[in-house]
C-alpha cells in the first residue's frame, strides 16, 4: 500500500496523536508505518541500524524512532515544534502530527491540533486516564476537533483484559461528552506487539470493531458548521494595470460575478475574475482575484459574504491558552496576529481559568504556563473575526510578545464584548495642538525609571521647579502619591505592578493630551509596561529617563527603610530583592547617580526637552 500508485482522488485526513508521557504515541505510529510498509526499504534499513546502535537487538526495530519529534530534539539539539509524517494507503492520504506528551510541550500539541480534523488519543491501559489525557482532550475540543479515536494502548500489560478496556472506554466517553467531543471511537491496541494496528488481533477476540488503520481509512470526521465566504488578503499584486488580491479561501466558496464585502471598511464590490482562468474557488484553495471597483484594499483586510459578514470589533471575549513560561498578566500589552493582520493587544480582564481535572471555573489573577482562561482582549485597531467554533481560520488569534516577537499564547475568539460596540471615541474640537499653542510649548511625558532609592523623585522635583520657573505647564506623578489615591487598591505582586503602571500610563497620556509636560517617577520594573506607556503618546513625546543606580548603592541610601524591611522578609515582591527589575536597553536619557548629581541629571533631561518640546 501507499507505494508509487497515483494519489489523486484520495481524500486527505489530518490527525494528531496525543496523550500522556510514554503512552506509546510514536511507537503506535511507527508500528502503523512499519507493518503496513508505508515507508521505503532504505528507511527500514536505516531504522534497523539505528535501533541496533541504541542496543535494540530484537527482530523489530525501535519503531518510535520513526516519528518521535522529542527524541529528534534531544539528539540534534534543535527545536521541533511538531513531528509531521505524510503517508498514503490505497484508500486515503494522511498527515499525522506527533507531539510530545509532557505538559511543558502543550504549545506543540496546540500547533498540531489547530489544523487537524481528528485526534488519536492514547491511554496507557495499565494507568488509565491521567491529567494529560483530560488536558489534551479538552484542548482538542477547544480547537474545534469533534472526532476522537481512543487507543487504549499497552493492553498487553493488562493481560488483554476486556474489563480494563471497557472501564477506560466508559470513563473516556463520559469525559469526552462533557467537553464537547461528540464522536468517539475506541480501539484496544498494543503498539509494541502490533495488536489491532493493521489487522484484528487474535488476543482480543472480544473486540469486533475495525483495527486502527482501517478505521482511519474509512472514518468521516464530524465537520464544523458551514461557513459563508471568507478570504483574508495575504498580499496585493500589482503588475501594470492589473491589481490582484491574493489569499487562501478560509470559508465558503467564491465565483466570478459574486458580490463580496471588504472588512473593516464595509465596502462592497464584485469579483471580476480569478487569475488562471478559473471560475470559482473553495475553502482551502489559494487564489488571486480582481474586483470591479477601485477600493482601498490591503494586507490584513478580510473579504467576506455581504449577506453574512464577519464581526468587526476592538474588544473581544476569548478563551486564551497560555504557552509561555512567564505568566500572562492582565494589563500587559502584546501584539495579536488575527488572520493576516497584526495589531497591538491588551488582555484587560481575566474572568477565570479552567481546572483541567474538574472543568471548574476557578478565580485567577494570572495565567501560568499551559493554563486556559476566559479573558477580554482589547485591540489597538479594529479586527475582523468569526467565533472560533464557526470558523477556525478566522476565529483564531496568536498572542505575541512585543519585545522578543515570540508566540506566548493562543486565543480562540468568541464574541464582541458586551457593550463594546456601543462605545465610540467622541470627536472634540480642541485638540492637543490647540492646547499647545495656548500654552506656548509642546506636551510630553518624561518617565523616570529606576530602583527604589535611585533618586527619581528628587530629579523629577528639580525638573518641575525649573520648568515652572520658565512658565511651562507641568504636573508630577509620583509612585508613592499615586498609590495613596488612584491605585490604593493595588498591592505589589507582578500582576498589581502591571496594573499600577497601566493606570499611570493612561493618566499621563491624558495629561499630555491636555498640553502638559508630565513628569512620572515610578520604579516601573517591567520593560513591556514602559513600552506601552511610550506608545500611548505621540512620536517624540516620550522621554524614558533611566536613573541608573546599582542595587548596593540604592540599598545603602535606603531613605525609607524599605530595603531593610525587604531583607527581613517584611516586604515580599520588593524590586531588586525578590522581584526583578528590567533595566532599559536604550533609554532616551541615562543618569549615572554614582557620578551625576541630581542637578546635573536635571540638566541632561532639560537638554532633551529643549531639543524636542520647548523649541
Q: Which residue has the higher pLDDT, 516 or 429?
A: 516
Q: Which residue has the higher pLDDT, 225 or 309?
A: 309
Out of 66-80, 163-177, 478-492, least confident range: 66-80
Q: How far is CA 68 from CA 88, 187, 471, in A?
A: 19, 22, 70
Confidence band of 420 (pLDDT split at 50, 70, 90): low
H, E, C per residue of 231-286: EECCEEEEECCEEEEEEECCECEEECCCEEEEECCCEEEEEEEECCCCCEEECCCE
Tell me how many helices (H) and strands (E) the chain has.
16, 27
Q: Which residues contact 426 (CB under 8 A, 6 or more apart)?
A: none
Task: Give the residue-averaged pLDDT of 133-158.
Answer: 91
Out of 259-268, 323-332, 374-383, 504-513, least confident range: 323-332
Please give the Cα distance from 382 to 386 (Å, whole number).
13
What percent of the chain shows pLDDT beyond 90? 47
257-288: burial string, b at 16+ Cβ within 10 Å, e else: ebebbbbbeebebebebbeeeeeebebeeebb
Predicted local distance difference test score (pLDDT) of residue 49: 52
User: Using omega within 30 degrees of 0 as the cis cutoff, is the peptide bond preceding 73 cis?
Assistant: no
Q: Which residues contact 66 (CB under 8 A, 6 or more apart)?
A: 26, 29, 30, 33, 34, 39, 43, 47, 85
Given the residues 51, 190, 305, 524, the one annotated as active site: 524
Predicted local distance difference test score (pLDDT) of residue 220: 92
The continuous run of DSSP H or E covering 163 comes out as helix 162-179
Predicted local distance difference test score (pLDDT) of residue 74: 41
Q: Please, are residues 215 and 149 in contact by the beta-carbon 8 Å criterion?
A: yes
pLDDT at 228 over 70: yes
Q: Please, are residues 396 and 341 in contact by the beta-carbon 8 Å criterion?
A: no
Predicted local distance difference test score (pLDDT) of residue 103: 61
What does the block give as the cell for 94? 494522511
Predicted local distance difference test score (pLDDT) of residue 453: 87
Out of 142-146, 358-362, 595-599, least confident range: 358-362
pLDDT at 293 over 50: yes
Phi-psi region of 22 (alpha: psi -120 to 50; beta: other; left: phi over 0): left
Q: Which residues contact 276 (CB under 8 A, 6 or more apart)?
A: 288
Q: Would you tell me how many other CB atoms lie within 10 Å of the CB of residue 405?
A: 8
Catalytic status, residue 579: no
Amino acid at each position: 500500500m501507499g507505494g508509487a500508485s497515483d494519489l489523486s482522488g484520495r481524500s486527505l485526513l489530518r490527525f494528531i496523536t496525543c496523550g500522556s508521557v510514554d503512552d506509546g504515541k510514536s511507537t503506535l505510529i511507527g508500528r502503523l508505518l512499519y507493518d503496513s510498509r508505508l515507508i521505503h526499504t532504505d528507511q527500514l534499513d536505516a531504522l534497523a541500524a539505528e535501533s541496533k546502535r541504541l542496543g535494540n537487538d530484537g527482530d523489530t526495530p525501535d519503531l518510535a524512532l520513526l516519528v518521535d519529534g522529542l527524541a529528534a530534539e534531544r539528539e540534534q539539539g534543535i527545536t521541533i515544534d511538531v513531528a509531521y509524517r505524510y503517508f498514503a494507503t490505497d484508500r486515503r492520504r494522511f498527515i499525522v502530527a506527533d507531539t510530545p506528551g509532557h505538559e511543558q510541550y502543550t504549545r506543540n500539541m496546540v500547533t498540531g491540533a489547530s489544523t487537524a480534523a481528528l485526534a488519536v488519543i492514547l491511554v496507557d491501559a495499565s494507568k488509565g486516564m491521567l491529567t494529560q489525557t483530560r488536558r489534551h482532550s479538552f484542548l482538542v475540543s477547544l480547537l474545534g476537533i469533534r472526532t476522537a479515536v481512543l487507543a487504549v494502548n499497552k493492553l498487553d500489560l493488562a493481560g488483554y483484559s476486556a474489563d480494563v478496556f471497557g472501564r477506560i472506554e466508559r470513563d473516556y466517553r463520559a469525559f469526552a461528552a462533557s467537553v464537547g467531543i461528540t464522536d468517539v471511537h475506541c480501539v484496544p491496541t498494543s503498539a509494541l506487539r502490533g495488536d489491532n494496528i493493521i489487522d484484528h488481533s487474535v488476543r482480543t477476540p472480544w473486540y469486533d470493531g475495525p483495527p486502527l488503520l482501517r478505521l482511519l481509512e474509512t472514518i468521516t470526521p464530524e465537520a464544523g458548521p458551514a461557513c459563508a465566504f471568507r478570504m483574508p488578503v495575504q498580499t496585493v499584486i500589482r503588475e501594470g494595470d492589473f491589481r490582484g488580491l491574493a489569499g487562501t479561501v478560509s470559508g465558503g466558496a467564491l465565483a466570478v460575478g459574486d458580490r463580496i464585502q471588504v472588512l473593516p471598511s464595509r465596502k462592497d464590490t464584485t469579483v471580476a475574475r480569478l487569475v488562471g482562468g478559473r471560475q470559482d474557488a473553495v475553502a482551502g484553495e489559494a487564489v488571486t482575484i480582481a474586483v470591479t471597483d477601485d477600493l482601498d484594499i490591503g494586507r490584513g483586510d478580510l473579504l467576506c459574504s455581504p449577506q453574512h459578514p464577519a464581526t468587526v470589533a476592538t474588544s473581544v471575549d476569548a478563551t486564551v491558552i497560555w504557552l509561555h513560561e512567564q505568566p500572562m498578566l492582565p494589563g500587559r500589552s502584546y501584539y495579536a496576529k488575527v488572520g493576516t493582520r497584526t495589531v497591538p493587544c491588551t488582555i484587560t480582564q481575566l474572568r477565570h481559568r479552567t481546572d483541567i481535572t474538574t472543568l471548574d471555573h476557578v478565580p485567577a489573577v494570572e495565567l501560568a504556563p499551559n493554563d486556559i482562561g476566559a479573558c477580554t482582549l482589547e485591540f489597538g485597531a479594529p479586527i475582523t473575526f468569526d467565533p472560533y467554533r464557526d470558523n477556525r481560520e478566522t476565529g483564531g488569534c496568536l498572542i505575541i510578545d512585543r519585545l522578543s516577537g515570540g508566540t506566548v499564547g493562543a486565543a480562540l475568539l468568541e464574541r464582541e464584548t458586551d457593550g463594546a460596540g456601543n462605545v465610540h471615541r467622541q470627536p472634540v474640537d480642541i485638540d492637543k495642538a490647540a492646547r499647545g499653542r495656548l500654552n506656548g510649548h509642546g506636551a510630553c511625558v518624561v518617565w523616570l525609571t529606576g530602583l527604589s532609592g535611585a533618586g527619581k523623585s528628587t530629579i523629577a522635583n528639580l525638573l518641575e521647579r525649573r520648568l515652572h520657573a520658565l512658565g511651562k505647564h507641568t504636573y508630577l506623578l509620583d509612585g508613592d502619591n499615586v498609590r495613596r489615591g488612584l491605585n490604593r487598591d493595588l498591592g505589589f505582586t507582578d500582576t498589581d505592578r502591571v496594573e499600577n503602571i497601566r493606570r499611570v500610563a493612561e493618566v499621563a497620556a491624558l495629561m499630555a493630551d491636555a498640553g502638559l509636560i508630565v513628569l512620572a517617577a515610578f520604579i516601573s520594573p517591567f520593560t513591556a509596561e514602559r513600552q506601552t506607556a511610550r506608545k500611548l503618546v505621540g512620536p517624540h513625546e516620550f522621554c524614558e529617563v533611566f536613573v541608573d543606580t546599582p542595587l548596593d548603592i540604592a540599598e545603602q541610601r535606603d531613605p525609607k527603610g524599605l530595603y531593610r524591611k525587604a531583607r527581613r522578609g517584611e516586604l515580599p515582591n520588593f524590586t531588586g530583592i525578590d522581584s526583578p527589575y528590567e533595566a532599559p536597553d536604550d533609554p532616551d536619557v541615562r543618569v549615572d547617580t554614582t557620578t551625576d548629581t541630581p542637578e546635573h541629571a536635571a540638566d541632561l533631561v532639560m537638554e532633551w526637552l529643549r531639543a524636542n518640546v520647548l523649541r
